[in-house]
Amino acid sequence: MPILTWKTNYSVGVKKIDDEHKTLIDMINKAYDSIEAMREDEVLVELVEEMRNYAMTHFATEEMYMKHHKYPHAETHRKQHNEFMIKVASTDNLLSSNNTDIDPIKVFKYLADWLRNHILKTDKKFGAFLIEKGQE
């Protein structure tokens, strides 16, 4: 059962970005469900791969909008994207080396924190900027 469902207050007001953010909600739910079912170790590799794919696709979308609209806070925003990618890469490296010290609950918490701190704050400001520039 999902722990999160998409709510209008998650929206940044730009359809493509919102649609991609819904993928993050799905990943959070998948992580939560796997922990609840005690299958988190089975799902972790797949989840990290989904995080990588999400980041590559979604960050490219946002950064294209930043460049096109000359977003004044693009550098700071991109740094946050890079931090996410570093987290995914380091987790993937640990998984590849068969490291069993990875706590799936921490991965779940990281995704939930990303929603709370990046999307609901940083991306909301970016969305307001894009709307002001006429982006739908």
In a domain, 4, yes or no: no
In a domain, 3, yes or no: no
- Say which CATH number the domain at 111 has: 1.20.120.50
The tokens describing 105, both together, are 């609950």
In a domain, 92, yes or no: yes
In a domain, 6, yes or no: no
- The number of distinct structural domains making up the chain is 1
Hey, how many other C-beta atoms are within 10 angstroms of the C-beta on 89? 13
Q: Which pTM value belongs to this model? A: 0.88
- The sign of the dihedral angle between the CA atoms of 30, 31, 36, 42 is positive
pLDDT, tens digit, 9 for 90 and up, residues 6-23: 999 999 999 999 999 999
In a domain, 98, yes or no: yes
In a domain, 38, yes or no: yes
pLDDT, tens digit, 9 for 90 and up, residues 16-70: 999 999 999 998 898 888 888 888 777 888 888 999 999 999 999 999 999 999 9
Query: What is the domain extent for residue 22?
Result: 12-132
Q: Rg for the chain (alpha carbons), in Å?
A: 15
In a domain, 2, yes or no: no
